Amino acid sequence: MTEETRIRLNKLIARHTGVSRREADEMIEKGSVSVNGAVATLGAQVVASDTITVDGKQIDVTTGAILLLLNKPRGYVSSRKQQGESPTLYDLLPSSYHSLKTVGRLDRDSSGLILLTNDGDLSHQMTHPSFHKMKIYEASLDKPLAPLHRQMIADFGVMLEDGKSQFGLDRLVEGDETQWRVSMIEGRNRQIRRTFAALGYTVVTLHRTSFGKYNLGDISEGNFEAVDIS
């Protein structure tokens, strides 16, 4: 953002803190945001030389949008706080990236691609159902999936306590009914595991390989790659 450029305050907050523009507006409405020492108002526009604070903490507008692709190993939680003996995925990142927020989550027992960003608009576009971002997983089951159950999941859906669950299924290896590629747009909490469990199966491993246009590629387990989204 140059000295001459004016930008809506909620957009700037979203770009540099990882919240959505709606959440930024809520912060402004609550009086949590100040511009040059004065409480900000909805619809305000700012420039690079302005001092912007949220809850008294200054936003660093010199830092551009950041997106990391992380290959999360099993056993790590997708939160900032360690849960019991389980480490957090932030332990895998340099401290300079600890302010980034995860775009969605992977449960502790799942592995693979997880995105982290400071761009709230990007996070919203990746997670809100209206944007229909496809996620691809590789799942292994404790026993072969019956053809009827495959049809139920893919064609009709399985009723869970929080609604119907439906996703695409393709064999990873021809003739192996325990290894499946799962394609889904939804992303409810432990949805894949709960769907198979409702039909009597246990997901042994679950590994995400892509999220929207972003792919894990050759990023090794526990490592990450920064992506240019400018």
CA-to-CA dists, residue 108 to 9, 73, 161, angstroms: 36, 9, 22
How far is 101 from 98, CA to CA, in rounded Å? 8
Better-predicted residue by pLDDT, 227 or 70: 70
Nearest to 221 by CA among 98, 106, 85: 106
Average pLDDT on 169-193 reads 95
3-state helix, strand, coil split of the chain in percent (to 5) is 25, 30, 45
What pLDDT does residue 213 have? 95
Residue 63 binned pLDDT confidence (cut-offs 50, 70, 90) = low
What pLDDT does residue 2 have? 46
pLDDT(119) > 80: yes
Q: Identify whether 107 is a catalytic site residue.
A: yes
Which entry of 25, 50, 60, 107 is annotated as an active-site residue? Answer: 107
Residue 1 binned pLDDT confidence (cut-offs 50, 70, 90) = very low
Q: Within the chain, where are the H helices? A: 9-17, 21-29, 120-127, 147-151, 191-198
SS (H, E, C) 162-177: CEEECCEEEECCCCCC
Most confident of 20-29, 31-40, 150-159: 150-159
Per-residue pLDDT reduced to its tens digit, 197-226: 999 999 999 999 999 999 999 999 999 999
CB 113 within 8 A of CB 211: yes
Domains of the chain: residue spans and CATH: 7-58 (3.10.290.10), 67-128+218-227 (3.30.70.580), 134-211 (3.30.70.1560)
What's this model's pTM, rounded to 2 decimal places? Answer: 0.78
What pLDDT does residue 168 have? 97
